[in-house]
Structure 1
């Protein structure tokens, strides 16, 4: 069987060569931050100084990049989702279809607007929301569908758009992991009534924290503007210097979920490198797909309408193994030791996630029986549950490396899976 695995004290596959760091500041990022520092305006709520805010400039750049009419930057992807839900009319007691396999915010944002997330199963190959499962969950109380483009896959937008239209539901497209991906030749985030993005530290377009909601509907964009700026909206005309640029319209109460000028300026610079970095990731992912498929592994697939993928995470399904074989978590630990690269199982299903537990917060006990409707334990979604035990993933930064890096990853998989019987757990 050869040398011991690194997790057992053997020599790892990879030594002495670091993986690409993330985030990587784009050319001009430092100068952009210095511009804001000395501008006298660090927030869109600051007094008007006679110049267009960096937030407005980023909103215009990102809307143009996506080919959409309106972009409203927000403090986070979570803020973008919550404002999108409320802008689409989702509120107390409404049901919202969400994928059972996703980050906790897919459910907690729905609960956060006093609605009820209904977990539906995912396609076993793409790991994205299955249109048939979504349609089967629709009831008279359903108000919206939230679809997530997960890891490197684009969901079946044709099928989900059709379900939403048949039942008169809002479709909200969570594109937090898919900046720059395209479906039928159009950027994702533009197929839903609202598309939402996260610019968190881990994302392929990042300002550390941040987000955005995009739409072609001017009325929805105006509602989102109010919801993210304490009920205020940018004035139709530039005010006098020193006056507020945000107007207290009285149209809609909101909260403070604005993006700072520092983050906006950083995103203007980072957006210019997005396509080139995504191209590098795709090239390396295609090589790794081939190398792992030769070993009998199954890289995550994407929906047939996908015309360009974006890799937030590279995900791959392990080969079938005996019932007593070591868990995917044990395999991930061994791969991490071989590579010096964090490899993890994919998300736990939301109905089993420690991060989604509405009963832990009194704010969700809004009426008798509401917590029972929020209880995640009522769901059993087999494809989502199986994926959590069979798929592994690692961060997109590794795909910004060299061809040899992909061969290192493939060799680590070969070594670990050949010795899976030696692993415990």
Structure 2
């Protein structure tokens, strides 16, 4: 008989044994932070000090890592998305197609530029935007498509790029959860007109907070620079020491969404460890895929063009088809008790998310009928709803452990699922 689940008083699979911590400071991170601390320049808006800023150095390093022409660091992934949308010409009343299953920022950033997010179904296996559903959602008001590489999957970029090109739409690639992943041999983030990244505390490349927008289009990069620095950008030549480095061009009004020098210095150090950590996560995920598949579970898949997966979250579908959100929540709670590792259901569909409610902020009531266009209650998308009920996820830090840790995760699933009736009945 299977051991009693820890949530019902049994001995946990991992009693008292810790998981790898996150974030993990890279070698040299402390020295880089101290260098900024004593440099007299903590912001790119500070007077020029005679050497390139850490922000500029990170931008160049990240662009080279991705193989793209331009990188503009930002204060957050949200800031990167909002500046990307505006740089691509999205504005008041325009529609932007976004995946129905994603973090709240996929919708709130669109609303934040006075546009209208239009939710489209996801692929049931990858949980990423379904190209056919995206194309079906296009109307004369559509201005852009935002594709999200979710958890560990890369979306079908070939098909989505073709849809965008067919209809003359901007394609914005939200790669906040996919630093270092590749599709057909190219880094993700480089297939869209603009690619965006988050460097939030939880991400595989992190400075606590932060983000970046990348593009091969010099004009788009210049617009993003202005949008994130109060309408200023770097001049063509360095100024004299002590003078401002950012030039007030008057080209485009912006806001202050800049990355600090501390964050930039930290990211330069962290970038050097990214590939090695991604390789460890990938190897452990491959093993865990096999162990969980043997139990009848369904690890998240990725699109066929993927040539390298990265893991922001490990996501897996439970082995039964029809059950409600309370069931998956109970299973997640039981797994957390077994492992001492937070296991959660995946994101709720955006139209059902408590974090997406434009009516709660008066600033979005910009004209007759606009709030009605934003009303999430007008959507019913069963694939996304079913995925939210059936998939669970946990943070990538657990994949930095040993092979034995993957066996612990598999044992926890075996023990909990063997007692499913007791958990969900």
TM-score, length basis structure 1: 0.99
The question of whether the paired residues in 2 share the 8 Å contact of 1:325 and 1:421 is answered with no
Question: Which residue is equivalent to 1:101?
Answer: 101
The question of whether the paired residues in 2 share the 8 Å contact of 1:326 and 1:420 is answered with no
Question: Which residue is equivalent to 2:314?
Answer: 314
Can you list the C-alpha shifts for 1:175-215, whole angstroms capped at 9, x where unaligned? Answer: 00000000000000000000000000000000000000000
- Summarize the Cα distance change of 1:237–1:125 in structure 2 as closer, same or farther, 3 Å threshold: same
Q: SS state of the match for residue 143, structure 1?
A: strand
- Summarize the Cα distance change of 1:135–1:267 in structure 2 as closer, same or farther, 3 Å threshold: same
Question: Which residue is equivalent to 1:6?
Answer: 6
Measured in 1, the distance between the counterparts of 2:350 and 2:25 equals: 33
Can you list the C-alpha shifts for 1:273-294, whole angstroms capped at 9, x where unaligned? Answer: 0000000000000000000000
Is 1:115 paired with 2:115? yes
Deviation at 1:251, TM superposition (A): 0.1
Note the 1:23-422 alignment, pairs <5 A: 23-320=23-320, 323=323, 327-422=327-422
Measured in 1, the distance between the counterparts of 2:78 and 2:324 equals: 39
Deviation at 1:40, TM superposition (A): 0.5
Measured in 1, the distance between the counterparts of 2:89 and 2:57 equals: 28
Deviation at 1:326, TM superposition (A): 6.1
The question of whether the paired residues in 2 share the 8 Å contact of 1:325 and 1:420 is answered with no
Measured in 1, the distance between the counterparts of 2:132 and 2:126 equals: 14
Measured in 1, the distance between the counterparts of 2:205 and 2:325 equals: 38
Structure 2 residue runs without a partner (length 5+): none
Deviation at 1:380, TM superposition (A): 1.1
Q: SS state of the match for residue 253, structure 2?
A: coil
Deviation at 1:3, TM superposition (A): 3.3
Q: SS state of the match for residue 282, structure 2?
A: helix
RMSD across aligned C-alpha pairs, in angstroms?
Answer: 1.0
The question of whether the paired residues in 1 share the 8 Å contact of 2:325 and 2:389 is answered with no
Measured in 1, the distance between the counterparts of 2:359 and 2:15 equals: 46
Runs of 4+ in structure 1 deviating by more than 4 angstroms, as ranges, are: 321-326
- Summarize the Cα distance change of 1:145–1:2 in structure 2 as closer, same or farther, 3 Å threshold: closer
Q: SS state of the match for residue 327, structure 1?
A: helix
Deviation at 1:4, TM superposition (A): 1.9
Measured in 2, the distance between the counterparts of 1:3 and 1:413 equals: 12
Measured in 2, the distance between the counterparts of 1:373 and 1:295 equals: 44
Number of equivalenced pairs:
425
Q: SS state of the match for residue 10, structure 2?
A: coil
- Summarize the Cα distance change of 1:372–1:15 in structure 2 as closer, same or farther, 3 Å threshold: same
Measured in 2, the distance between the counterparts of 1:16 and 1:106 equals: 37
Deviation at 1:16, TM superposition (A): 2.5
